[in-house]
Structure 1
Amino acid sequence: MNPIKHVAIIMDGNGRWGIKKRKSRNFGHKQGLKSVEKIIKETLKKKIRFLTLYAFSTENWKRPKNEVNYLFSLLDNFLSNKIKELHSQKIKFVVLGKKKFNKKLNNLLNYSEKLTSNNKKLQINLALNYGSKSEIINAINNLKKKKLQINESNITRNLYTKNTPDPDILIRTGDRKRLSNFLLWQLAYSEIFFEKKLWPDFNEKDYNNILNKFKKTKRNFGKI
């Protein structure tokens, strides 16, 4: 059976779920947080060490301003109310991406990272204002500044995920089959599972079904 160290998730479908329920897209985003909490709890139970959640991409700034502001207010509220609980559960919180938000949110993100920095039970990477192409360009520019050779190992060491193993599994909900500029370098040999359910409908049973399928998957990494 394949061991699982790292699961990455593209949490797609919140807005569509809200519209489907004859509510708003923002209502869908709020409900999606409940799925986040379920999956964190289940990840702890399964003793998986790393969980990366795609929360906001560099392209998501193109969305209506009221939706963007609501997403950040949800994040602000979630961390304000939950970060001490996450800390008590020995969860480490890490932001992947550039912190270009308002001062209050930036301070909260920095506080959350600092508070939980020594925790080792589970590391949650929140991909926020994240784009994989800009991450790779940033890594290459770092190598040029340091006058280091541009090769695979040096690029890997200069990514936002430098202290994180590559994902074993990528899950994308929402019935969309694309990577959307997410962890393009790191997903080279990940097993990818596309889930039809919209993110607020995704539950522990769905998650465990995917984990069990992965454990039975033959992984060759280019070999026979």
Structure 2
Amino acid sequence: MMNFLSTALLFSSLPLIHAQSGNGVHTIDVGEDGLSFNPASLTVAPGDKVEFHFYPPDHSVVQASFANPCQPISSGGFFSGFFKTTEESKTVFTLTVNNTDPIWYYCGVQGHCQAGMVGVINPPSSGQDTLDSFKSAAAKAKDTTVPANVFGGVVGNASSGNTSSTTTGTATSTATSSPSKTSATTATTTNAANTMHTAGDVGALMLLGLFSWLMM
């Protein structure tokens, strides 16, 4: 009898619903308000995506190190290529953030970085590595260089269900309620299915434990 009760208690403590994870999408406007990124500082979670939306006339985004602004980071990083447009670009550059390490970046058009067109994703919470310090160092940079090819992200259409931790001029302009409702419905259905499946497994195990006890 004790064996059966122990088995039943063990399996009844198992979680019935597995957590569902979803990735957020954040928007940074490039050059909409002159030589600037908006927002210039953005905090996102690992797994989230950041979309760079480009405005006239010509801009790009390149990852740098804090110590060497206006120059591509020596290892890894990303480069969007140059977006030359007379209106908001129909394509965006999408970056997937893999951790919470600071990502410092700049516009690769000559003179833009020195003019203050720099930004950071996941800025340090303390210390002297601040966006203002990075911008001051960029103003003193002698020149601006970029990688030879686009890499580190995806050039394509914007997501139809953007969310952003900071409200900007166009951060929510492409968001629609339909994709969000579809996503929520899908997640709810999936959770319900997982619950029924897991509950069925627990019931089967309890019956197996009962059968084993009766055979003793």
The question of a shared fold, defined as TM-score above 0.5 by the shorter chain, is answered with: no
TM-score, normalised by the number of residues in structure 1? 0.30
Of structures 1 and 2, the one scoring higher in RCO (CA 8 A, sep 6+) is: 1
Max Rg structure: 2
Structure having the higher helix fraction is: 1
TM-score, normalised by the number of residues in structure 2? 0.31
